[in-house]
Chains A and B, each alone.
Chain A
């Protein structure tokens, strides 16, 4: 029987969006059966349009920047978009796949995406904004799979 990996994706910034998709696609390539449960701020990663996924240097002192930017400057309008643009350029330069590419690879490799119904209701998300390949469920749905998984991570 195939090994199983269960992930919980809870963060929706550009940097934190990568680990679930990287781990899920890799595990699936290795023959694992994989499910990812997207909840709270992880849920927007299931949107058809991922252009809203951003990164901020604010509150993220470990983020390497070409030059140090004082915290008081980091909160200025446009800083988030600039940091996001810079990060995307860096990812591209180093041959790192885009989030869309990685998510598509996950789907091709039969990774199952579960969207947290409670989060959808809480933030009044419109389900038509999400990709069709996800299912909706709650914590018990996740436990059903995670309960006998070999790897289980909260990201």
Chain B
């Protein structure tokens, strides 16, 4: 999937993946896609909750080698 910006949130615990995602989105323009890498298993539910509450659509998510990858579109 195409993306415009990458965020490395590996080895960070709650709430840093969410807070750093928010900060990364702040620097982007509407329609751009952010790719987030996380190793926090709690971030699976948290990213979905973040997307739902902020209205930034979570386009896709993958899990590979103990890492979680999220694609979030800035609303």
Contacts and interface: CB of A to CB of B under 8 A. Distances in A.
B22 A94 contact: no
Nearest to B17: A95
B50 interface: yes
Contacts, number: 41
B35 to A, nearest CB: 18
Given A95-B40, A109-B22, A31 B53 contact: yes
Contact of B18 (A26, A94, A95, A96): A26
B12 interface: yes
A122 interface: no
Interface residues of B, number: 16
Interface in B1-37: 11-16, 18-19, 21-23
Interface string A1-44: 00000000000000000000010011011110000000000000
Chain B interface secondary structure, helix, strand, loop or mixed?
Answer: helix
A85 interface: no
Contacts of A96: 13-14
Given A30-B50, A30-B54, A95-B40, A25 B13 contact: no
Given A29-B50, A30-B50, A30-B53, A95 B19 contact: no
B19 A25 contact: yes
A94 B19 CA distance: 17
A94 B13 contact: yes
Nearest to A24: B15
Contacts of B50: 29-30
Contact of B23 (A95, A102, A108): A108
A29 B16 contact: no
A95 B21 CA distance: 16
Interface of A: 22, 25-26, 28-31, 94-97, 102, 105, 108-109
Interface of B: 11-16, 18-19, 21-23, 39-40, 50, 53-54
Given A29-B22, A31-B53, A97-B12, 11 more contacts: A26-B14, A26-B15, A29-B15, A29-B21, A30-B18, A30-B54, A95-B12, A95-B13, A95-B40, A102-B15, A108-B23
